[in-house]
Amino acid sequence: MPPIKRFEKEDIVNTAYEIVKKEGFSGLNARRIAKELRCSVQPIFHNFETMEELEEVVKKKIYDKFDEQIRNASDKEKPYLAKGMAYIRFAKDYPEFFKILFMKKSDLSPKDFILNDKATTDTVLGAGQAVFNLSSEEQNEIHVKSWIITHGIACLVATDTIEYSEEELKDLLGSAVRQLIYGYKNNIR
């Protein structure tokens, strides 16, 4: 009798992650994971009590990927733009992940939704504050508005509604945020 292959929790999470990357959570179920791993569903439920528990672990892994992409985005001349482009690039490269993280109903206010994101508060706000020479409160206000613009572009990219080159997206986002800052600094509302 051949030896029984043991599946670690990490194997199951990585397989689920790859399924979700292609199909979103709608493509994820125990049988599908078992098929990909070439095993029964038993190892899945040995490591996770429910599919919801596995989904939460996968969702954390997805967020970690997003956080890594935002943190690694850098441009000494335009750090704020680099962070916005990383957000849009995430939507383009991982549309299903983007939809899971940012295109679901939320009970938070728009401002709280935007400012509660750790990747945003830890890296993006500081980059904007340094570039635009604004107080923390002013930067929060500007950031909420510029995030809405960035998010709109990212949603259009994630759903294949528009197709722009990286350079066209950078120009679009950069000019929109510059106009927003100009209007803010010149009290045009």
Regarding whether 156 and 73 lie in a shared domain, the answer is yes
What pLDDT, in 10s, does the model give residues 64-82?
999 999 989 888 788 889 9
Q: What is the mean pLDDT of residues 17-30?
A: 96
Regarding whether 82 and 13 lie in a shared domain, the answer is no
Quote the tokens at residue 5. 């292959």
Is 175 domain-assigned?
A: yes
Q: What is the mean pLDDT of residues 28-55?
A: 95
Is 54 domain-assigned?
A: no
User: In the predicted model, is pLDDT for residue 45 greater than 90?
Assistant: yes
- Residue 33 is part of a domain; what is its CATH number? 1.10.10
Q: How far apart are CA 134 and CA 173, in angstroms?
A: 20
Q: What is the mean pLDDT of residues 82-88?
A: 94
Residue 117 confidence (pLDDT): 77
Regarding whether 95 and 31 lie in a shared domain, the answer is no
Percent of the chain scoring above 70 in pLDDT: 94
Regarding whether 92 and 43 lie in a shared domain, the answer is no
Q: What is the mean pLDDT of residues 103-126?
A: 78
Of 38-42, 72-76, 104-108, give the range with the top mean pLDDT.
Answer: 38-42
> How would residue 18 be classed by pLDDT, with cut points 50, 70 and 90?
very high
Structural domain span for residue 16: 9-48
Is 2 domain-assigned?
A: no
Question: What are the DSSP calls for the chain, one per residue?
Answer: -PPPPP--HHHHHHHHHHHHHHH-GGG--HHHHHHHHTS-SHHHHHH-SSHHHHHHHHHHHHHHHHHHHHHH---SS-HHHHHHHHHHHHHHH-HHHHHHHHSS--SS-HHHHHHT-HHIIIIIHHHHHHHHT--HHHHHHHHHHHHHHHHHHHHHHHTTS----HHHHHHHHHHHHHHHHHHHHTT--
Q: What is the mean pLDDT of residues 126-130?
A: 75
> How would residue 32 be classed by pLDDT, with cut points 50, 70 and 90?
very high
Domain count, the chain: 2
Regarding whether 109 and 181 lie in a shared domain, the answer is yes
Residue 122 confidence (pLDDT): 67
Is 135 domain-assigned?
A: yes
Regarding whether 168 and 82 lie in a shared domain, the answer is yes
Is 4 domain-assigned?
A: no
Regarding whether 174 and 93 lie in a shared domain, the answer is yes
